[in-house]
Amino acid sequence: MILHFLLLLLTFFFYLLIPSSPFVLSASAPPPLPLPLPLLSLLSLKSSLNDPFSTFKDWDPSPAFSNSGSHDQPVWCSWSGVKCNPITAQVTSLDLSFRNLSGIIPPEIRFLTSLVDLNLSRNYFDGPLQPAIFELTQLRTLDISHNSFNATFPPGVSKLKFLKFFNGYSNDFIGPLPLEFIHLQFLEQLNLGGSYFEGVIPVGYGNVKRLKFLDLAGNALEGTLPPQLGFLTQLEHIEIGYNGFTGKIPVELALLSNLKYLDISNCSLSGLLPEELGNLTKLEVLYFFKNNFVGEIPMSYTKLKALKVLDLSNNLLSGTIPEELASLTELTWLSLIGNNFSGTIPQSIGELPNLNTLLLWDNNFSGILPQKLGSNGKLLTLDVSSNSLTGPLPPNLCHGNKLFKLILFNNMFTNELPRSLVSCTSLSRFRIQNNLLNGTIPYGFGLLRNLTFVDASKNKFTGEIPGDLGYAPMLQYLNISENDFNNELPSNIWSAPRLQIFSASSSKLTGKIPDFVDCNNVYKIELQGNFLNGSIPGDIDRCQKLLSLNLSSNLLTGIIPRELSMLPSINAVDLSHNLLTGTIPSSFENCSTLENFDVSYNLLSGPIPSSGPTFPNLHPSSFSGNDGLCGRIVAKPCPEALATGDVEAGNNNQQHPPKKAAGAIVWIVAAAFGVGLFVLVAGTRCFHASYGRRFNDDREIGPWKLTAFHRLNFTSDDVLECLSMTDKIIGMGSTGTVYKAEMPSGETIAVKKLWGKNKETARRRRGVLAEVEVLGNVRHRNIVRLLGCCSNSKCTMLLYEYMPNGNLDDLLHGINKGDNLVADWVTRYKIALGVAQGICYLHHDCDPVIVHRDLKPSNILLDGEMEARVADFGVAKLIQSDESMSVIAGSYGYIAPEYAYTLQVDEKSDIYSFGVVLMEIISGKRSVESEFGDGHSIVDWVRSKIKNKDRIVDVLDKNVGATCASVREEMMQMLRIALLCTSCNPVERPSMRDVVLMLQGAKPKRKLPAEGGGGGVNGSNVVVVGIDDSIAQKAKLEC
């Protein structure tokens, strides 16, 4: 209504300002000129949409009202994204892509009657698709991809008789695939992938004769594949994978003689691979991975001479690789991983001229690798791990210096490493463990500038360990355990600047442990089971990030250096089975990070530390084999303690204190209690007094500055006025208090008043506002929008959009959750994926990187469509002043274990917290509950259940369908991801980008219909308690 009023007002001024037709109240005045329809339509778009980056700033209509240029092309033809016909001046093309727009497309778009191309892609449009678009009957191309359009696909698309290109990829449409597309006989490209369409592929889709491109992948489609798809004789590209189809591949697909790209991966299809597909002579890409196909590779596939990519991974295929496959000279990618193939790999495969990726792991291949592999100079990735391959490695694997990953573990390769590998500067990951390789590790690997991961353990390597490994610029992981070196460690082994994990256990190492010079980033050292002698270097305190040290089963002598107990991060120490002497340093009592400590079977003497967080809880076996040790833990009194009356073990003869002392103690306790009571009462009164005037005081310490990151319809005075009259606290956490506030315009927002000191320096204030500005520029569909910031010299308030459905914590654990929404597994999955996508954006797409620092369910809000929105990202950093950097970053139960030792947070800390959130989503339990045991979190509880495989099912929340086999398997997939995210070793946690990919691979394959008056939300099933119980039961239990 307001929009129409504004447009009428604009029309009035348009009449008023046209010089050639003055607006005069006279019978002789000529009739006013109407507002041109293209201008009306474009201005409607501009006024209806949210444009956070002001991309419409050049859409200025004022020149249209002036006399200048009145004979030129209309002003709107020069606007960004707008193209006009040079003769008729009608708008023919409108491109609004990549503008971060949101809101509802106005119906006035129908006035662009000459529009041929419309691109709305890669924005944040949501709600139903505007059906007025289908009145633009001249459209040839329509792109709405990468948005959040939801609900069922609206009727009317059949009106676009001339449409050639339609792209609706990556939206949230639900319901059946739209049938009207079958009437568009000029349609050449149809992309409906990446939504929540369900049901079967309409048979009529086989009648769109001119179709060249069809993408229906990543939906919830089911049933069998219609043979009629084989009638699309012009088809060149088809993607229908990542759905829930059943049955076999119809042989009629062999009729698609023009087909170049075929993807039916991850669909649960079964049966034999159709021989007839060998007739697709133009086929370049074939993806059949993650199905249940059986049998052998059809010999007819060796006729696919144009084939570049063949991926048959993760099926039940068997037999051998046909020798004739080497005749496919265009082949660049061959992946057969996770099948039951056997026999030898044809030597001719190594002669394929364009092969860059060969993935054959987890099969039963034997024999030797093709010795010409890599000779083409194009090999990027080779992974043949977990087979039974033997013989030498090919000599020219990195001939073109492009090899990035070389993964060969769990085979029986022999001979020495090819010398050419030390010149492979492109190499990043090198995994050759558990083979029979021998000889020496050649000098040169440490000079490879991209090498990050080396595992050469469990081989037969001998001789000198190359000293250049200490210079490796990017090396993070080095494992050379279980070899036969019979040599010393290089003196500079700790100097690799990025080295984090070093393992050389059971490798027959001799000599002394090198001094810990430049041991800056190493946090795990494993040297157990060798013949190392001498003392533990006293400069071990240089390893400030060290978490775990294992020097057991060596010949070490001397004392335990006191510096070891002073390491800020040390968590596990094993010095057992050595020849160490002296005492255990008493400073270990103050080591708050230590959890595991073993010095058994040495020559130690003296008292065992008896206080502190660790030693009283250690098992006596940690000190066995040291006859000179004494103390409570080993039940052997120390002579000194007995002499002073401070007995540490068997102390049953301790004398009672004199009565006078006892009386004094009583009076002290009573006085302390009285003081405490006084402080409590006084504090309570102060709190109420300050709470009552919290915002009135804020007014007095102005002036206030409002910094807006979006278009706002209120002022700082509106915010303060509203807060001074509200008691609607909707949240209170470690960073501040959140209030619900309704602005005079009727808009509801959430206001977060940050905790802080009464006075902050100007420098600190500038720092806070700079951080806030970074947060305010974040734009993502799964991130709560920071609308603005109110601040003065003593207070900062953040203004957020209000989320009507509360937060994930309420949904999972709320006291009154019976009155809230009951979310089925699909909804929980959708929330988990949304959170991952939001954090992925913060980690990988923001510059600088934004670390959340306090990810937990109460900071995951839910919008009106039950879409997850991450809140409070980076806020923890804002409240840290220079004096408070030791304040814990995070919440108990969600903090990564290494934080206790490093007091540093990074992306890996967020990933650990996200793993905990996943466990809550899967189990329905809180991160910390009494049933987990004292000091244990949900992570410990889950891992204890996994150790007993029969109890894994106890982890899964039965309220969301864990009793159903298909749902249970999907929950288990997410549980595996959660376990990866909560790895104790940060290096082993995946990146959030990898987490998103893994979660997308675990997408539920079914959705329940949105029935019962609001049961479905955005393709997920959310049932409101109180409607028909049968529907609620269906949401919970149907598989």
What are the DSSP calls for 62-131, one per residue? GGGGSSTTTTSS-GGGGSTTEEE-TTT--EEEEE-TTS--EE---GGGGG-TT--EEE--SS--EES--G
Specify the amino acid at residue 1039.
C
- Tell how strand 261-263 and strand 285-287 pair up: parallel
Length of the chain: 1039
What would the two tokens of residue 744 be? 């005079």
Find residue 790's DSSP bridge partners: 706, 797
| Three-class secondary structure assignment of 895-917 | CCCCHHHHCCCCHHHHHHHHHHH
The Cα-based distances of 402 to 396, 468, 638 in angstroms read: 12, 22, 65
Specify the amino acid at residue 394.
P
Distance CA 566, CA 372 (A): 54
Of 263, 824, 854, 910, which is the active-site residue? 854
Distance CA 608, CA 617 (A): 12
Residues tagged in the binding site annotation:
753
Following CA atoms 1030, 1034, 1035, 1039 in sequence, which dihedral angle do they give, to the nearest 10 degrees? 170
User: What's the CA angle centered on 784, arms 813 and 797, to 5 degrees?
Assistant: 100
Distance CA 120, CA 99 (A): 9
Distance CA 649, CA 287 (A): 69
Torsion-angle region of 94 (φ positive above 0: left; ψ -120 to 50: alpha; else: beta): beta
What would the two tokens of residue 621 be? 């076996």
Residues tagged in the binding site annotation for ATP:
753
Distance CA 999, CA 267 (A): 16
How far is residue 802 CA from its own chain's centroid? 24
Distance CA 891, CA 687 (A): 24
Task: Judge whether 740 and 802 are in contact, CB under 8 Å.
Answer: yes
Active site residue 854: yes
- Tell how strand 91-95 and strand 82-84 pair up: antiparallel
208: exposed, middle or buried (Cβ count in 10 Å: 0-12, 13-18, 19+): buried
> Helices 992-1001 and 907-923 meet at what angle, rounded to 10?
30
- Nearest CA-CA partner of 157 in 187, 127, 116, 114: 187
Residues 6+ apart with CB under 8 A from 693: none
Alpha-carbon Rg for the chain in angstroms: 35
Determine phi and psi for 862, rounding to 5 degrees.
-125, 125
Distance CA 782, CA 865 (A): 12
Specify the amino acid at residue 369.
L
- Nearest CA-CA partner of 586 in 640, 528, 644, 653: 640
Distance CA 670, CA 664 (A): 10
Find residue 261's DSSP bridge partners: 237, 285
Distance CA 148, CA 858 (A): 24
Distance CA 907, CA 889 (A): 13
Distance CA 1034, CA 759 (A): 57
How far is residue 831 CA from its own chain's centroid? 13
Report which DSSP code applies to 346.
Answer: P
Residue with tokens 């620092």: 853
Q: How many CB atoms lie within 10 A of CB 100?
A: 15
Q: Could you give the 3-state DSSP secondary structure of residue 267? A: coil
Task: Judge whether 852 and 913 are in contact, CB under 8 Å.
Answer: yes
Residue with tokens 């949409």: 49
Residues recognised as catalytic: 854
